[in-house]
Amino acid sequence: MSPSCKLVFEVHSLRNASPATVSRCGMIYIGVTALTWDIILQAWFKTRTPGEAAVLEPLFNSCFGAASAFLNTELKVKMIVQRNAYVTNMINFLNGLIPRIEPNKAVNTDHLEKLFVFALMWSLGALCELDDRKKLQQFLLTNAPNLKYPPLDQNSADTIYEFHVADDGSWAHWRQRVPEWTYPQDSTPEFSSIIIPTVDNVRTEFLMDTIAKQGKGVLLIGEPGTAKTVTVQRYLDKLNSEAHLF
């Protein structure tokens, strides 16, 4: 090999690399102007069935660009991220939510459209406070009225964030997933470790599991004293210790 020749290795991961190896790595950065969110989306569509792509692509084109632009310019978020991160989060949600179908079975369009709305509102709204989530909801209802949103009662304070897509493809309120809690009779738990199931922590745990079960990292953010650590610990305690090590 001539002195002017150089080799470039593209590794799958740095999981088994030593600190010395990592320190010598060259990182290639591709800006968002070159790698736009729609390119990421088109690459993902190639991993889905043609039927799923045919349903989801028009939905993305109809509202994602405008909604993410509205989020970045008009709303306050707890952490600033690029638009590509939002579409990646949405893809991760859909990967974890879309049920597997047999190759010759038709796609349930109604179910898939509702999952799209659920993934859209949480990929964009997860970093927003409650007031900004309401603004995002109003933007979606006004600018994308044909999406299959949850049924909202005008006399109720519920928003679209109080609903999830049930296994049968229908919209259901999060309170239907909240289990009844009873005080342990055979032990005395530490007061600081007690978590009463509520809509908030049941919802958070569901969203965490949707991403974590794919082997992807989850970042839980919030103000001090909002039970972040306890929520994560409770989730980890439910995992199979023989399959997961923390």
Domains defined along the chain, listed by start: 35-176 (1.10.472), 178-246 (no CATH)
- Average pLDDT of the residues in 65-83: 93
Q: Quote the pLDDT of residue 70.
A: 96
pLDDT digits (tens, 9 = 90+) for 4-25: 887 777 777 777 888 887 777 7
Structure confidence at residue 113 as a pLDDT band (50, 70, 90)? very high
Tokens coding 3: 């002195």
pLDDT digits (tens, 9 = 90+) for 179-237: 888 877 777 777 766 778 889 989 999 999 999 999 898 999 888 888 888 888 888 88
- Average pLDDT of the residues in 67-89: 93
Q: Quote the pLDDT of residue 18.
A: 83
CB half-sphere exposure, 101, CA atoms < 13 A: 16
- Residue 181: name the closest of 164, 190, 194, 163 by CA: 194
- Residue 213: name the closest of 96, 47, 89 by CA: 96
141 pLDDT higher than 70: yes
Is there a contact between 109 and 55 (Cβ–Cβ < 8 Å)?
yes
245 pLDDT higher than 70: no
pLDDT digits (tens, 9 = 90+) for 199-209: 998 999 999 99
246 pLDDT higher than 70: no
Pairing between β-strand 163-165 and β-strand 171-173 as defined by DSSP bridges: antiparallel
